[in-house]
Structure 1
Amino acid sequence: MAGSTRRFTFAAIALPFLFLVMSGLARAIPINLITVDTLSGGSVTGHCSLSDAVKAANTGVAQNACPAGNGIDDEITFVVTGTIFLDVGNVLLVSDANLSIVGPSLGCSGSGPCGITISGNSNPETSGGIVLTEPPVYPVTSTVLTLKNLTFEEGFAVHGGAIYVNGTDLEIDDCLFVNNAAEDFITAHGGKGGAIYINSAGTVDIINSTFYNNGAIAGSVAPTGSVGGAIADMNNSATLKLTNVTIAGNSASAGGGYAAMTSPLVKGTIFDANTPQNCATVGINDQGHNIDSGNSCMVNTGVGSLKNTDPLLETLANNGGPTETLALETSPTISPAIDLIPLADCTDQSSPTPQPLGTDQRLFARPDPGNPNACDSGAYEAGALQPIVLNSERVQIARSSTAHSDQVNIGLTFTENGDPDCDLGVGGDEDALNDGINVALFQGTCAGLPANGLITNLDTFTVHTVNHQQYGTLFQVNGYETISARMVALPAPVDGCSAYTLNLEVAGLNTNSATVNLPGGNPFALVLTDEEGDGAGCFDVTNAIVGNQIPTPSHSVRRGVRRQTRR
């Protein structure tokens, strides 16, 4: 509806919609959303924690504030950002037949990632320090788990420091695995799979993800018995696919990068500085455009693949997107991974028809605008533009002693970069004027968004054209609250798709209420999300103007004019 505005709270109906858009997974088929609204590592009365969300999905029974799963197409999303430290013994046991766990797709302007990190808190587990999949209860015979936009850290287990795959199928997109460890603290023979251990005959498909500083630790009984610093595939019937993955700085007694019983299908992937070697047990099934910093992964190199080649990776850092990444060096030396993959091969390993990757781990568009005819190997696309760039902003909160009289005014200039096609016009992905934009304001920072805030869905503007200049207007009344906005289209930047100035006013608020939840001063987090779900950005605001409104005078003041008498 033109000028519609959703309820201004993350806890309300609008929130699953907004974060579904922010996750980039808006789809036509119905899904059963289970929305996590707390960073607690265990059960919390009156809230939906991650552990309760997984239980609700597994059992089909509501857990605290988590609705029941349906076992057909359950998806866990988040209305908070930050780190979830799992309680002792609270491994996420997944037996739902079809479950997705999807973190927010926010790009972050702060010093750290602003998505969701799941920490095993270094609690010892027998199998799967953070996630353990297992076949569900009969008659369903398989578990399909999808993980997206998440960081897994400090998992600790005998097998699979972060994940133990004992169900059937696992898909991992745009995730980071860092500082996870596998150690056999039971028999002391050595751990297997510092990040992931595969003990399933199904398919494990990993795309646009990074494994860094994970380790399988040798035991005292078998000091050379640990394998697979990042990944250990110990099932002869498993199918492991790696597409545009970066595996660097992991360690084990053998196969610091991976150890496998059967050759994984590997495409556009970087193995770098894993000790004592990148790959062990068997070589990869080289699908092309891979880089091995040593000589342990490739029996016969595929098309465009390189061995004994330093990929020139930067250190792990916040380079935008929901997770930290390992950037490719661009100066003074250019990484050989840059533009290594011809555009036609910049695809996943879907069967029978591979699909274009479209984005890197940060959800920045592939290919980058510098060379639209090639993509980079690994999880990071050098030179790619973040989906939404905030060029300038002005935030003002005016409070009143009268109920329903507070105002929030936001003025900003932003650019939508989107994909290389720049799909503009009604129904396009990069046209905020014709298709709308979501603007939200939260008390705090992007690295730790609270559950509630001020959320507006500016969908869509009434568009006007004057002297070839387009602008849009929007106005709606929702109870006490009114929302008005004006947006003007600016000339598109050279590398971007569209640019706009936006002036937004929301009046009739109680900013101290639990729903609007803007009770204090700086800092604030400003979130922009496009209507198509292809881009989201979070920007820390530290210079907002916050103060009380000037009260209206209670009486009028008469001003007279003294007449002078001419003498």
Structure 2
Amino acid sequence: MSAAFKFIRAARVGLVLCSLMWLGQVAATTINVNYATDNSGPGYCSLRDAIKAANTNSAVQACPAGQVEPTIDVINVPAGVYYLAGGDNYWDEDDNVSGDLDVLGSVSIVGAGARSTVIVAPPRDRVLHLRTSAVALNISVQGMTLVGGNVADNPVVGGRNGGTALTSVTGSVTLKNLVLRGGRAQGGGNLASYTSTNAKLLVDNVTVTDGEATGSGGGIYTSGTATLRSNAPQMRNLTISGNRAPVGGGLTQSGLLDLNQVTITANHGGGIYTQSSVADGLWIANSIVAGNSGGSQPWDLYCQSSAYNAALIYWSMVNTRSFYCTLGESGAMPAADPLLTALFDFGAGIPVHALRPGSPGMGAGRPNYGDPDTNCLTSDARGVARAPLSCDIGAYSARYDDSIDSTADLPDAAPGDGSCAAINGACTLRAAAMEASASGGRWILSVPNGTYTLTRPLDTNNDASGGDIDIAPVAGKPALNFALIGQGDADDVQIVGGGTDRVIEVRGKFNFHDDDPSQSRPLAFALVNATVRGGRLSEDPFQIPEWNGSANGGGLLFNNGRYLLDNVVVRDNVVSRDGSGSGGLMVQLRPDVVVRPWGANTSISDYLPFSHGISMERFAVVDNHVLGSNGGTGGLLLSYYQPNSQFPAAIASIRNGTIAGNSAEYTGGLVLSGQYIGATYLTVTGNEATNPLSSGGAFLQAGLMANSLITGNFTPSGLKDCEVTPSFLGLGYILLGTSAGCAIDGDLTGNQLDVDPLLGPMELTSGGMPVYRLHQDSPALDAIPWQDCADPASGQPVLSDARGAVRPEPDGYVACTMGAVEGNAIPSPEVFSDGFE
């Protein structure tokens, strides 16, 4: 054979090999969804059609054909709301014809972010069923919120798990940057996962909330047959919160499972239930498992057997464990209050529990010792970088984007340049609000202790530069997350009005025309550890036209968006304009309006689920007043609009609050309007309405209430605690000093009507929180049985009161106290036989 011939043959062989390699590396198909309803028509591509195209490798409507494995196709799902439909019998339909979305091929499904891409389950099925029936299959889902799902009543027993999502993993499944919420199942209210011996499951930067299981695993149920640690399912930067089940309210696990930088809290029925039949089946590293309660097993960690080490715990806080638990521990922390905020979006659209200042979880994580399974991760659930040497434990890293470094009231020098800097270079409250509004994005700010007085007068030509602090996102900018985190207690950070305006206004909607998406701008605002006082509001030239010149919210005005008030006092604010209201705080909430894709070049507008809401935890609204004629609501007005009863929404929660000493012509203390409001553990007292026909305490139009005191409120005609119209749903354990005009429907268990609760005088805690304690003979003390101490509106445990003290009080009685303060009763005066004290 000649050298030339050998060369030619070698070249041909090389060409053939290159061709074969090229054939094995077929480019992935990118499928762009452009139709919001479940099934599209010619020329369009719906989400279900896109998944069909990827499953079958065939074109469906305008969706191009997917490629054969191992090629991973990509489905892009733009911002919008996607409601899945189904026929009469679709619980167990597994070919993606109706009901849930059955994913059968290698594909990456990519949304526009958890905040803006929302997929809603049909009435009787889940959202996603991921089925990697072959080792080669590779599925990932990222950047979206999956809502609802109900399979608990499926007549087929094997189909009752995974309310929102179900994964049957033989190959590889990745769930990343997701929110799963509101599912119901027998096992795994939001997620059930079954992994084979060599399968790979990764859950990363995910929040699982509001799930319910009739069996176990209210949030997640996971089971697998892996025997090697390298094949254990991995869950990282995961938050499991607000789920419920008889056992394993947060998570039920068997087989192997690795948890790292996880927060599991506020679940009813316990935090983790481990059923693992292998030693050290569960690894918990750099995590918080605390604040879970209720159900048949109220532990943070409950172990099925003590025959072997059920779990290894590394540098984690796992507070309460069942007596069955035999554990291996390294660097584990003693039981303590982790000082978590309520669940909230502190950036990236992934709700988390932030660590409040002083949390023992700060800096408690494991340094880099070369073990990737238990070391601190490089970033948290929001993508915020963690400290490289000693990270904060849990899914949230308490690192601030900036810090307020001056109490002066100076505007930002160049709004929109991305830097909080007043003309003197300092980052002031006003400069931070102006810059954040102009730039958008995440602004989590540290606020040092001090008094921040707003000295700049109202500027009728520039709302932001004078008067109140204005947070109002500019159109076309990234979604705004703005948080002010006081570094002390409620009275250590004082934000004081300057006498010409309210104190803080936050606006996410700029008119009331719901068909205009440009007027809804994504917004999340949090205020933690602060007092807001000294607002004086007589005019509001920047108010939206629909309010017809009224001036509302003497201390704070919130208009659309998502809000968190945690350990906040609103006091001594005044509205003096006729026809206006809400001396302390007005909250007006309507869902954002967004564009939904409706074909290649058209779109429609729709409401965005979970785009509006509020959580108020440990608060007081006291001594605020509306002085003008025809004014209403001296203290707090909360209006929460829902388009319809089927619209997915979170409960607007106000909890552990005192509303007292406020006044107005109509309704002195509190107005609640909205069926998705949950009011729990409130004390409403000492408020005044100057109109004798109104209610001194509360005006309840719609919503839910439990475990609360409304007493000692008055009008010129005498005591009048509340008024109900048209109906208000009680959930038990409500004490009314006077019940006339206040017929509360619903669960009447434990209600006390026309009863004196024996309240003491208003007191200030050491942190400046106004509270009212009960006398030791009060009928409201220990009136709530332990099993009913949870918040019935949300199902979440309530383990502290307005002072931050433990609820229920560890006094030997397994019961909770009605109102904002748990136990700690005032001793009744001793009365001697002669009648004198």
Q: TM-score, normalised by structure 1?
A: 0.52
Which residue identity lines up with residue 288 of structure 1 in the other structure? G
2:406 alignment counterpart: 38
Deviation at 1:160, TM superposition (A): 0.7
1:306 alignment counterpart: 752
Q: Distance in 2 between matches of 1:42 and 1:23?
A: 35
Q: Distance in 2 between matches of 1:371 and 1:35?
A: 44
Three-state SS of the structure 2 residue aligned to 1:269 is: strand
Pair 1:101 & 2:475 matched: no
| Equivalent in 786, 792, 809 of residue 343 of structure 1 | 786
- Does the Cα contact within 8 Å between 2:409 and 2:452 map onto a contact in 1? no
Bigger radius of gyration among the two: 2
1:293 alignment counterpart: 737
Three-state SS of the structure 2 residue aligned to 1:380 is: coil
- Does the Cα contact within 8 Å between 2:357 and 2:488 map onto a contact in 1? no
- Does the Cα contact within 8 Å between 1:35 and 1:53 map onto a contact in 2? no
Q: Distance in 1 between matches of 2:777 and 2:632?
A: 32
Aligned runs of 1:244-259 on 2, under 5 Å? 244-259=656-671
Aligned runs of 1:55-70 on 2, under 5 Å? 55-60=434-439
Q: Distance in 2 between matches of 1:363 and 1:171?
A: 17
Which residue identity lines up with residue 576 of structure 2 in the other structure? E
Q: Distance in 1 between matches of 2:432 and 2:793?
A: 29
1:331-373 CA distance string (max 9 Å, x none): xx5444433333344344775xx33333323333333222463
2:613 alignment counterpart: 203
Which residue identity lines up with residue 505 of structure 2 in the other structure? V
Three-state SS of the structure 2 residue aligned to 1:54 is: helix
Q: Distance in 1 between matches of 2:642 and 2:700?
A: 15
Q: Distance in 1 between matches of 2:564 and 2:808?
A: 23
Which residue identity lines up with residue 101 of structure 1 in the other structure? L
| Equivalent in 441, 454, 462 of residue 71 of structure 1 | 441
Aligned runs of 1:223-238 on 2, under 5 Å? 225-233=630-638, 236-237=641-642
1:92 alignment counterpart: 469
Structure 2 stretches lacking a partner, 5+ long: 1-314, 316-330, 332-353, 363-391, 412-421, 458-465, 474-479, 511-516, 538-550, 591-611, 644-650, 690-695, 702-723, 826-837
Deviation at 1:50, TM superposition (A): 1.8
Aligned runs of 1:379-418 on 2, under 5 Å? 379-383=820-824
Cα pair distance change 1:77/1:334, threshold 3 Å: farther
Pair 1:120 & 2:497 matched: yes
Pair 1:131 & 2:505 matched: yes
Aligned runs of 1:95-494 on 2, under 5 Å? 95=472, 97-106=480-489, 114-125=491-502, 129-135=503-509, 141-157=521-537, 158-184=551-577, 188-189=578-579, 191-201=580-590, 202-219=612-629, 225-233=630-638, 236-237=641-642, 240-262=652-674, 264-276=677-689, 277-280=696-699, 282=701, 283=724, 284-295=728-739, 296-300=741-745, 302-321=748-767, 323-330=768-775, 333-348=776-791, 351=794, 354-371=795-812, 373-383=814-824
Q: Distance in 2 between matches of 1:23 and 1:306?
A: 40
The size of the alignment, in residue pairs, is 337
Cα pair distance change 1:316/1:270, threshold 3 Å: closer
- Does the Cα contact within 8 Å between 1:153 and 1:179 map onto a contact in 2? yes
Which residue identity lines up with residue 481 of structure 2 in the other structure? N
Which residue identity lines up with residue 210 of structure 1 in the other structure? A
Which residue identity lines up with residue 687 of structure 2 in the other structure? N
Cα pair distance change 1:35/1:285, threshold 3 Å: farther
Cα pair distance change 1:329/1:139, threshold 3 Å: closer
Pair 1:54 & 2:433 matched: yes
- Does the Cα contact within 8 Å between 1:328 and 1:335 map onto a contact in 2? no
Three-state SS of the structure 2 residue aligned to 1:194 is: coil
1:138-161 CA distance string (max 9 Å, x none): 697332222222212122332011
Cα pair distance change 1:285/1:139, threshold 3 Å: same
Q: Distance in 2 between matches of 1:18 and 1:209?
A: 18
1:285-340 CA distance string (max 9 Å, x none): 3233333333255523643333433444444433223x33223033xx54444333
Q: Distance in 2 between matches of 1:196 and 1:122?
A: 17
- Does the Cα contact within 8 Å between 2:554 and 2:573 map onto a contact in 1? yes
Q: Distance in 2 between matches of 1:363 and 1:244?
A: 9
1:512 alignment counterpart: none
Q: Distance in 2 between matches of 1:326 and 1:382?
A: 12
RMSD: 3.6
Which residue identity lines up with residue 589 of structure 2 in the other structure? S
1:92-144 CA distance string (max 9 Å, x none): 222362222222344xxxxxx7421212233235xxx4233334996973322
- Does the Cα contact within 8 Å between 2:508 and 2:521 map onto a contact in 1? no
Q: Distance in 1 between matches of 2:819 and 2:408?
A: 33
Q: Distance in 2 between matches of 1:290 and 1:150?
A: 29
- Does the Cα contact within 8 Å between 1:159 and 1:183 map onto a contact in 2? no
Deviation at 1:81, TM superposition (A): 3.3
Which residue identity lines up with residue 308 of structure 1 in the other structure? D
Three-state SS of the structure 2 residue aligned to 1:59 is: helix
Pair 1:29 & 2:396 matched: yes
Task: Name whichever of 225-234 and 302-311 sits farther off.
Answer: 302-311
Indicate the structure whose relative CO is greater, using CA pairs within 8 Å and at least 6 residues apart. Answer: 1
Cα pair distance change 1:345/1:90, threshold 3 Å: farther
- Does the Cα contact within 8 Å between 1:41 and 1:51 map onto a contact in 2? yes
Cα pair distance change 1:47/1:359, threshold 3 Å: farther
Deviation at 1:178, TM superposition (A): 1.3
Q: Distance in 2 between matches of 1:203 and 1:194?
A: 21
Deviation at 1:173, TM superposition (A): 2.2
Q: Distance in 1 between matches of 2:588 and 2:520?
A: 19
Q: Distance in 2 between matches of 1:93 and 1:251?
A: 26
Three-state SS of the structure 2 residue aligned to 1:241 is: strand
Identical positions, percent: 21
1:225-267 CA distance string (max 9 Å, x none): 1111112245644975332222222211221122344454322
Q: Distance in 1 between matches of 2:497 and 2:777?
A: 36
Cα pair distance change 1:378/1:79, threshold 3 Å: same
Which residue identity lines up with residue 245 of structure 1 in the other structure? G
- Does the Cα contact within 8 Å between 1:232 and 1:258 map onto a contact in 2? yes
1:200-241 CA distance string (max 9 Å, x none): 21323322212212122232xxxxx11111122456449753
Q: TM-score, normalised by structure 2?
A: 0.36
Three-state SS of the structure 1 residue aligned to 2:671 is: strand
Cα pair distance change 1:210/1:18, threshold 3 Å: closer
Three-state SS of the structure 1 residue aligned to 2:441 is: coil
Aligned runs of 1:483-562 on 2, under 5 Å? none
- Does the Cα contact within 8 Å between 1:162 and 1:194 map onto a contact in 2? yes
1:481-509 CA distance string (max 9 Å, x none): xxxxxxxxxxxxxxxxxxxxxxxxxxxxx
- Does the Cα contact within 8 Å between 2:467 and 2:501 map onto a contact in 1? no
Q: Distance in 2 between matches of 1:329 and 1:350?
A: 25
Which residue identity lines up with residue 227 of structure 1 in the other structure? G
